[in-house]
Amino acid sequence: MGDHKDQQPVRVGAAVRRRRRALELTLAVVAERSGLSVPFLSQVENDRARPSRTSLEKLADALRTTAVELLAAADPACSVDVVRADDTSEPDFAPRVRSLVRGHHQLHASEFTGDHEAGREFQHRNDELMYVADGAVEVEAEGRAYRLGRGDTLYLTGGVRHRWRATVPDTRVVVVAVAEHIEAVHDRQR
């Protein structure tokens, strides 16, 4: 028995709702564009009905996307997945990145061990949180420098330019971010 089932039914409702809201459309407008009824669309968005392939394609057309894109942004019906720690018996001092979440979800989480491309600047569309599990890092964000030690966190809103580097050996940093495909950030006024 494994930790992850590959044959999970897909819940497309949340992806449909996110896309519809991102386009600022009502259910009535999507119904008119797709030829599907408002009650049926409501049931789809609330995962009480699963659209046929044909209905999903009509819905995707009405939302100016494709059925493949909607399925890729969909949530699996079972949302429990275990990602086991590496079972390496000998320490590996090379920098590495380990994904803490499998698949296509609303959140991405990665564990960085050691240093990485310290000069590389990042600017993500959505918010992210950095947590220093071990060691220490220096973060430069919007022209200011921050020193973080074990147990410290740094929250960055979407659009903030930043770069970071480990300042001690064996540093481990966990980064959790809202996925790029999510319309979580609306034009922020600065």
pLDDT, position 99: 74
Question: Does pTM top 0.95 for this prediction?
Answer: no
pLDDT, position 62: 95
Average pLDDT over residues 94-104: 71
List Cβ neighbours of 5 (8 Å cut-off, separation of 6 or more).
Answer: 78
pLDDT, position 4: 41
Helix (H) or strand (E) run with residue 65 in it: none
Average pLDDT over residues 57-69: 90
List Cβ neighbours of 179 (8 Å cut-off, separation of 6 or more).
Answer: 104, 105, 106, 107, 108, 126
pLDDT, position 133: 94
Across 31-45, 66-80, 145-159, least confident range: 66-80
**Comparing 16 with 182, which gets the higher pLDDT?**
16
